[in-house]
Amino acid sequence: MKLFYAPTSPYVRKVMVVAHEVQLVSSIELVTSGTTPLAGDEDLIAVNPLGKIPALLTNDGMCLFDSRVICEYLADQAESATLFGRQGQRNWQALMQQALGDGLLDAALLARYEMLVRPEGERSPQWRAAQLRKVEAALDRIEALLPEIGGEATIGTISFGCALGYLDFRFPELDWRAGRPAAARWFADFDARASMVATKPYDRVAPVEPTKIKA
């Protein structure tokens, strides 16, 4: 399998955390993509018309995107019964948690791109503030949910971990732990998992071995 990736993408990180958890990381070849919100990567667009990462080329010729689809595919390939609940309420809870974590990331990325990508004279502080309010609301919901979740690795908790890790990486000024002791305690433990340690984000784009990927 080949994964189009960038080392700082939180969605790539989510895929790689899953790959570590289901022990498929050695089966994935990493392909660095130079795609940005304003400029596509021709090699990536050839297989994913949306030009977005992550995108996974499977061994039988499919191209899968986005992270939610790829994560479920990897869990299915590994016949994992733990990452996705598969049955009843547990399944819907895990998927809802994934949507919450991904939604936090969506808002955080929009806030970041507003300041990073848009020309200075066209930036909207109101737009950025609106996105950060969504981040804060998502954090409050995560704080409320975590006492009942525990430390098991599911697609929901992996999504939470990658979202909180991205805030540490790109938004340290938000101080998301303030007033959220349950989330702070939970993340301290979850972030110490081998899969999370192996995928911590970094600021370079040179290809690395799969076992050393830090998305």
Q: Where are the domains of the chain?
A: 2-80+197-212, 88-193
- Tell me, what's the pLDDT at 90? 86
Q: Given this chain, do its domains 2-80+197-212 and 88-193 carry the same CATH topology?
A: no
Its CATH architecture, for the domain 88-193, is Up-down Bundle (1.20)
The pLDDT tens digits of the residues spanning 15-28 come to: 999 999 999 999 99
Confidence label for 150 from pLDDT (cuts 50, 70 and 90): confident
CATH code assigned to 2-80+197-212 = 3.40.30.10
- Tell me, what's the pLDDT at 201? 87
pTM for the model stands at 0.90
d(CA 148, CA 161): 16
Task: Give mean pLDDT, residues 62-78.
Answer: 97
- Tell me, what's the pLDDT at 211? 34
Q: Decide: residue 45, CB within 10 A, 0-12 exposed, 13-18 middle, 19+ buried.
A: middle
The residue with greater pLDDT, 38 or 180, is 180
Task: Give mean pLDDT, residues 134-161.
Answer: 95
